[in-house]
């Protein structure tokens, strides 16, 4: 039996006033899963999420904007446009709205994205640049050819389980590099030998942010598809770029680490979270990534240390709210997922 949408709306919007933040996050992603089941559900889910932007948690609103983009439905564009256009809204939420427009990838979003290319906040400007480039590439002949190459490789190298995982994978703010010199269209390029090439592109500040993002996701794919020997070198190549001057760029690397849940990223994520001078957007992603890695970790000492780090910042009232809340959510999610008595709503939806 599927969860009731009215009950999920009450949970997400916290109409009772006593729904914990981590439970609201789970509700949000339950709604995301339900949206794909029918057009009517998609419309209703977009309506429910759109009501949530009056909340005072920038972290939750950021996550809601992210989910609206992942739904890849143009009916979410009016809400996202309103968020991006609200210059009083938290920059992290506005950035996520712009990124969500890029995920939906409709040319009708281009006018508002172009308008905010000169926004006072650098993260908003940079995200609009990325979204515009993604939309233009996705809708071009080159972009369609690259998608064909990706699908050809997926078919040649994947299986049914991989196909299901790819279908559920997040929509990236820039597509991964698919072409390297001398590679055939059906050939997997996400290999150990191409890590230096991708790293050079990642670190090359003379290139556009969009091109460097493409290298970032190529390294992410290398961790996932390049075999055991390629995993740690690709993770460390990503960590090298955490010195970049763009907070948006650094935050995306932390997001990728959260996707990968690879133990080699733990030292870097711990350093980022412990750096009180780091941008709150970057530290928030580091906290969430650290929580994700910990759920996969089998090193008790490393897990204990990381939990202590998350607890430290969850309780530090001097830390930015989005950082504290990210640590709280990471810790609560770990406790929830490790509790065998808890029912996972999305299990029934995905089955």
**Closest among 21, 22, 41 to 31, alpha carbons compared:** 41
Note every long-range contact of 343-347, with CB atoms under 8 Å and residues 24 or more positions apart, other chains counting.
Answer: 345/3, 345/26, 345/30, 346/29, 346/30, 346/33
Exposed/middle/buried for 245, CB within 10 Å: 0-12, 13-18, 19+? exposed
DSSP string, 180-246: -TT--TTS---SGGGHHHHHHHHH-TTS-HHHHHHHHHHHHHHHHHS-HHHHHHHHHHHHHGGG-S-
Exposed/middle/buried for 350, CB within 10 Å: 0-12, 13-18, 19+? exposed
193 appears as a binding residue in the annotation: no
The total number of residues shown for the chain amounts to 351
129 appears as a binding residue in the annotation: no
**49, 67 contact by CB (below 8 A):** yes
| Dihedral (CA of 246, 213, 92, 89) sign | positive
90 appears as a binding residue in the annotation: no
Residues of the binding site: 62-63, 95-96, 251-252, 284-285
Residues of the binding site for Fe cation: 62-63, 95-96, 251-252, 284-285
């Amino acid at each position: 039996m599927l969860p009731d949408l009215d009950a999920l709306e009450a949970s997400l919007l916290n109409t009772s006033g006593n729904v914990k933040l981590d439970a609201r996050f789970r509700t949000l992603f339950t709604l995301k899963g339900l949206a794909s089941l029918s057009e009517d559900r998609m419309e209703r889910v977009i309506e429910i999420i759109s009501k949530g932007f009056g909340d005072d948690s920038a972290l939750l609103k950021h996550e809601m904007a992210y989910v609206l983009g992942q739904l890849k439905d143009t009916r979410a564009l009016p809400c996202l446009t309103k968020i991006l256009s609200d210059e009083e809204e938290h920059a992290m939420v506005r950035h996520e709205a712009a990124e969500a427009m890029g995920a939906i990838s409709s040319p009708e979003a281009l006018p508002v994205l172009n308008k905010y290319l000169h926004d006072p906040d650098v993260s908003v400007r940079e995200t609009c640049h990325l979204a515009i480039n993604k939309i233009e590439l996705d809708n071009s002949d080159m972009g369609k050819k690259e998608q064909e190459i990706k699908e050809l490789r997926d078919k040649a190298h994947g299986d049914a389980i991989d196909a299901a995982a790819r279908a559920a994978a997040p929509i990236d703010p820039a597509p991964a590099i698919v072409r390297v010199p001398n590679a055939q269209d059906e050939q997997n390029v996400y290999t150990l030998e191409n890590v230096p090439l991708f790293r050079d592109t990642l670190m090359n500040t003379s290139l556009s942010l969009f091109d460097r993002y493409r290298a970032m996701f190529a390294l992410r794919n290398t961790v996932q598809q390049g075999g055991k020997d390629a995993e740690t070198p690709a993770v460390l190549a990503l960590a090298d770029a955490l010195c970049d001057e763009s907070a948006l760029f650094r935050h995306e690397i932390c997001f990728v680490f959260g996707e990968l849940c690879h133990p080699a990223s733990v030292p870097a994520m711990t350093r980022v979270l412990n750096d009180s001078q780091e941008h709150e957007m970057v530290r928030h992603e580091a906290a969430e990534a650290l929580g994700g890695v910990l759920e996969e970790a089998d090193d008790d000492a490393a897990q204990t240390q990381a939990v202590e780090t998350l607890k430290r910042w969850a309780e530090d009232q001097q830390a930015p709210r989005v950082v504290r809340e990210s640590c709280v959510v990471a810790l609560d999610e770990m406790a929830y997922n490790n509790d065998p008595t808890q029912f996972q709503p999305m299990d029934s939806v995905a089955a």
